[in-house]
């Protein structure tokens, strides 16, 4: 074989090898975080044992939406002992607005960088007046959290916010009218998909406004609506439902989402969470 043919063959083999290596590269190489709500029943019984279970699974990053009878300092110590951390602290709308300083102090004690609420008090259907009140409240509390405590406020969508408004939705209005210096968002991908919206389109449209993400999947065959609710049994292991997880994760990476948390509300979360983690681990680009 002459040198030209040998060189061409070697380059071809190298190219094929590079393509194969790229195709085998993990799409989601990091271990996801966990929302405490997934293990809420377990946490209510024994916080330490539940943290041990999560630690054994390789979970380090936690989003707590309840202190489960502990002080923030006690919970922080338990996390530190296990080389785990809390990146986001979730509270109710009323606590956020009426106990802002207490919420912020707990978040700082926990070591969180984000404080979020998961819903808005509203009368169905969610309307413009309720959206405008939320926008005003978010801008006020977000400024306090950022300027006084160096914390980032996030709102977690819950499905009902996607009522039509103009040529978009009330959720679009909320993103557009809140100050990006003080207000960020946590995309719950199920509660984006369920009312008929496209998580990928929102990630592409608003990019870095989405700092956090809840990873969930919806049982096949279930039809969505704007109620903001569905039976917990409709939460299924990632990759077994209706959502296009690979496309969402690619878009989320481009949008520079900072933290990803598995949230599984189903009664068999202890079976589905390991399945979801294995699914994420085996995703390839």
The pTM of the whole model exceeds 0.85: yes
Q: CA 53, 59, 65, 71: dihedral to nearest 10 degrees?
A: 70
Taking the C-alpha atoms of residue 36 and residue 280, their distance in angstroms, rounded to an integer, is 19
| Greatest Cα-to-Cα distance within the chain, rounded to the nearest angstrom | 80
Please compute the mean of the pLDDT values over residues 192-217 and round it to a whole number: 98
- Examine the pLDDT at 245 and tell me if it is beyond 60: yes
* Lowest mean per-residue pLDDT among 10-14, 25-29, 162-166: 10-14
CB under 8 Å, gap of 24 or more: what pairs does 80-83 form?
82/51, 82/52, 82/55, 83/55
Distance between CA 162 and CA 170 in Å, rounded? 6
Q: What's the CATH number of domain 35-282, 3.40.50.2300, 3.40.50.1980, 3.20.20.150, 3.40.50.300?
A: 3.20.20.150
Question: DSSP label at 67?
Answer: -
Domain boundaries, the chain: 35-282
What are the pLDDT digits (tens) for 92-105? Answer: 999 999 999 999 99
Is 80 exceeded by the pLDDT of residue 161?
Answer: yes
Q: Which is it for the CA torsion 156, 158, 159, 162, positive or negative? A: negative
Percent of the chain, pLDDT > 90?
Answer: 92
User: 126-135 pLDDT, tens per residue?
Assistant: 999 999 999 9
Residue among 285, 227, 276 at smallest CA distance from 21: 285
Of 156, 92, 170, 83, which is closest to residue 125 (Cα–Cα)? 170
DSSP run (H or E) holding 61: strand 61-64
Tokens of 102: 């207490």
Does the pLDDT at position 21 exceed 50? no
């Amino acid at each position: 074989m002459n040198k030209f043919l040998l060189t061409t063959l070697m380059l071809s083999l190298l190219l094929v090898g590079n393509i194969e290596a790229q195709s085998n590269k993990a799409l989601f190489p990091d271990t996801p975080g966990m929302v405490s709500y997934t293990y809420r029943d377990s946490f209510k019984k024994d916080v330490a044992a539940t943290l041990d279970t999560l630690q054994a699974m390789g979970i380090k990053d936690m989003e707590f939406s309840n202190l489960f009878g502990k002080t923030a300092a006690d919970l922080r110590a338990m996390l530190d002992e296990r080389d785990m951390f809390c990146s986001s602290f979730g509270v109710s709308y009323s606590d956020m607005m009426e106990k802002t300083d207490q919420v912020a102090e707990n978040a700082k004690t926990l070591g969180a960088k984000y404080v979020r609420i998961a819903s808005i008090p509203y009368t169905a259907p969610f309307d413009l007046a309720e959206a405008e009140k939320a926008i005003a409240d978010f801008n006020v509390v977000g400024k306090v959290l950022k300027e006084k405590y160096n914390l980032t406020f996030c709102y977690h969508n819950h499905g009902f916010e996607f009522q039509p408004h103009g040529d978009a939705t009330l959720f679009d209005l909320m993103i557009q009218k809140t100050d990006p210096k003080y207000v960020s968002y946590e995309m719950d991908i199920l509660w984006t998909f369920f009312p008929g919206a496209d998580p990928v389109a929102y990630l592409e449209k608003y990019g870095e406004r989405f700092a956090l993400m809840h990873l969930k999947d919806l049982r096949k065959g279930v039809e969505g609506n704007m109620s903001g609710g569905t039976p917990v049994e409709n939460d299924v292991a990632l990759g077994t439902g209706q959502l296009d997880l690979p496309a969402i994760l690619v878009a989320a990476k481009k949008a520079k989402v900072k933290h990803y948390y598995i949230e599984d509300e189903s009664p068999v979360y202890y079976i589905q969470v390991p399945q979801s983690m294995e699914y994420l681990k085996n995703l390839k680009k």
